[in-house]
A and B are shown apart, each in its own frame.
Chain A
Amino acid sequence: DIQMTQSPSSLSASVGDRVTITCRASQSISNYLNWYQQKPGKAPNLLIYAASSLQSGVPSRFSGSGSGTDFTLTISSLHPEDFATYYCQQSYRFLTFGGGTKVEIK
């Protein structure tokens, strides 16, 4: 099975900060990597698919990069509504989620 490791597991940041979350796969997954945002009590929301493609309706401050085993989600300037938990997920061989990164207010 493909394992997904996210780091950090949590971070504190301020509105306006640039935030970067990383995700590493246990084997090469090409660009079969997706990113989600989840807020408390809500279903996850797809942000990025195929490593770097922005899902329709998602603000352009979100971006993704990477291929193979190492991937990054970047929020260029943190907005108040961006405080949430973020998950990566591989879809190269079935699906596996990373452990999540909670972005909290500093």
Chain B
Amino acid sequence: EVQLVESGGGLVQPGRSLRLSCAVSGLTFDDYAMHWVRQAPGKGLEWVSGISWNRGSIGYADSVKGRFIISRDNARNSLYLQMNSLRAEDTALYYCAKDRATGIRGGLDYWGQGTLVTVSS
């Protein structure tokens, strides 16, 4: 059974940092690209960042470019999101999701249940 389990969310003050993790099991992790997608309360889905299987292709939404860093450890079957200079508008449920493809090109066929990040003073 494929499982994606996010962790690391919580309440953080504006301007501070937070690191999210996603532990993946039940598949060959390094065969697929991976993504972070967020959803603000009551709002739609927003792609945050994605990374190809070999880290050769990495992309960010304009809203987080220069502040967030995506990474992966294929030996640990884990995906990460380092979030710096957090703003109130970063408040959201953050999902980890698996791409159907090795590159950032397919649909997202497996998702975690999300970890909530709240940015507030």
Name A residues whose Cβ lies closer than 8 Å to a Cβ of B.
1, 32, 34, 36, 38, 43-46, 48-50, 55, 85, 87, 89, 91, 94-100
Contacts and interface: CB of A to CB of B under 8 A. Distances in A.
Contacts of B105: 32, 91
A38 B45 contact: yes
Contacts of B47: 89, 94-97
Contacts of B35: 95
B1 interface: no
B14 interface: no
From A1, A50, A94, A95, name the one whose CB has the most chain B CB atoms within 10 angstroms: A95
Contacts, number: 64
Interface of B: 35, 37, 44-47, 50, 59, 61-62, 95, 100, 104-109, 111-114
Contacts of B108: 34, 36, 44, 46, 89
22 contacts: A34-B106, A43-B112, A43-B114, A44-B45, A44-B95, A45-B111, A46-B107, A46-B109, A49-B109, A50-B107, A55-B107, A55-B109, A87-B45, A89-B108, A91-B105, A91-B106, A94-B61, A94-B104, A95-B35, A95-B104, A97-B47, A100-B44
